[in-house]
Structure 1
Amino acid sequence: MNLKEKIDILVTLDENYLPPLEVMLTSLHVNNPNRQFNIWLLHERIPAEKIEVLSLFVASFGSELLVRKVDNLLIKETVSIHDYPKEMYFRLLCGQFLPETVKRVIYLDPDTLIINSIEDLWSLDLEGNMMAAATHAGLTNISHTINNIRLGTSNVYFNSGIMLIDTDLAREKIQLEAIYEVIEKFEKQLILPDQDVLNYLYGENIKEIPEEIWNYDTRQSLTYFTKSKGTYDARWVLENTVILHFCGKPKPWKQKNLDKFSVLYVHYEQLMKRMKDTQKEIGE
Structure 2
Amino acid sequence: MEALSDEINLLVTLNSGYLEPLKVMLYSAHANNPGERMHLWLVHASLTPDEVASVRRLTTAFGWELSAERVTADFTAGVPLIKRYPREMYFRLLSGQILPKSVKRVIYLDPDLLVINNLRPLWTLDLAGHMLAAAVHRGVTNLMDSVNQLRLGTTTSYFNSGVLVIDLDQARTKIKLSDITQTIEKYESELILPDQDILNFLYGPDILEISEEIWNYDTRKYLMYQTRSLNQHEIHWVMANTVILHYCGTPKPWDPASDGKFTGLFLNYQQQLQRLNGRLRDGENES
Instruction: Say whether the fold is shared (TM-score over 0.5).
Output: yes
Counterpart secondary structure, 1:260: coil
1:222 Cα offset (Å): 0.7
1:1-284 aligned at under 5 Å gives the runs: 5-76=6-77, 78-81=81-84, 84-284=85-285
Q: Whole-Å Cα distance in 2 between the matches of residues 217 and 182 of structure 1?
A: 28
Cα deviations by residue, 1:133-158 (Å, 9 ceiling, x for unpaired)? 00000112111101000111110000
Contact 1:116/1:241 (8 A) holds in 2: yes
Aligned length: 281
Select between 225-234 and 60-69 the one with higher mean Cα deviation.
Answer: 60-69
Please tell me the residue identity of whatever aligns with 1:38: H
Could you tell me how far apart the structure 2 residues matched to 1:217 and 1:259 are? 12
What is the deviation of 1:3?
12
In 2, the alpha carbon distance for the partners of 1:12 and 1:256 equals 26
Could you tell me how far 1:4 is from its partner in structure 2?
8.5
Q: Which letter does structure 2 place at the counterpart of 1:88?
A: M
Identity %: 49
Instruction: Note the residue ranges of structure 1 that are not aligned, 5 or more in a row.
Output: none
Separation in structure 1 between the aligned mates of residue 253 and residue 156 of structure 2, nearest angstrom: 32
Tell me which amino acid in the other structure corresponds to 1:220.
K
Once structures 1 and 2 are overlaid, which stretch shifts more, 138-147 or 207-216?
A: 138-147
Contact persistence 2:251–2:258 (CA under 8 A) = no
Distance 1:16 1:257, change over 3 A: closer
Using the TM superposition, give the Cα deviation of residue 203 of structure 1 relative to its aligned residue in structure 2, in angstroms: 0.2
User: 1:80 Cα deviation (Å)?
Assistant: 4.3
SS in 2 for 1:143: helix
Alpha-carbon distance in structure 1 between the residues aligned to 2:31 and 2:256:
24
Aligned-partner Cα distance in 2 for 1:158–1:55:
31
Shift of 1:79: 2.4
2:82 is aligned with what amino acid?
V
Kindly provide the CA deviation profile for residues 16-69 of structure 1, in whole angstroms up to 9, marking residues without a partner as x: 110000000000000001112111011011111111121112111100220111
- Asked if the contact 2:220/2:260 (under 8 Å) is kept, the reply is no
**Cα distance change, pair 16–277 in 1 and its aligned pair in 2 (3 A):** same
What does the per-residue CA deviation read over 1:194-247, in whole Å, with 9 as the maximum and x for residues that have no partner?
100010100000000000000000011111000000001011000000000000
- Structure 2 unmatched ranges of 5 or more: none
Shifted more, 254-263 versus 178-187: the winner is: 254-263
Shift of 1:11: 0.2
What secondary structure is seen at the aligned counterpart in 1 of 2:171? helix
Aligned partners of 2:74 and 2:162: how far apart in 1? 25
Would the alpha carbon gap of residues 101 and 3 (structure 1) be closer, same or farther in structure 2, given more than 3 Å must change? closer
SS of 1:187's partner is helix
Structure 1: which amino acid aligns with 2:220? R
Where 1:188 maps in the other structure, the secondary structure is: helix
SS in 1 for 2:135: strand
The 3 A distance-change label for structure 1 pair 257 and 125 is closer
Q: Structure 1, residues 236-267: CA drift from partner, whole Å, max 9, x if none?
A: 00000000000010000013352220110001
Deviation of the 1:75 alpha carbon: 3.9
Calculate the aligned-residue CA RMSD, in Å.
1.5
Scaled by the length of structure 1, the TM-score of the pair is 0.96
1: CA distance, partners of 2:131 / 2:179? 16
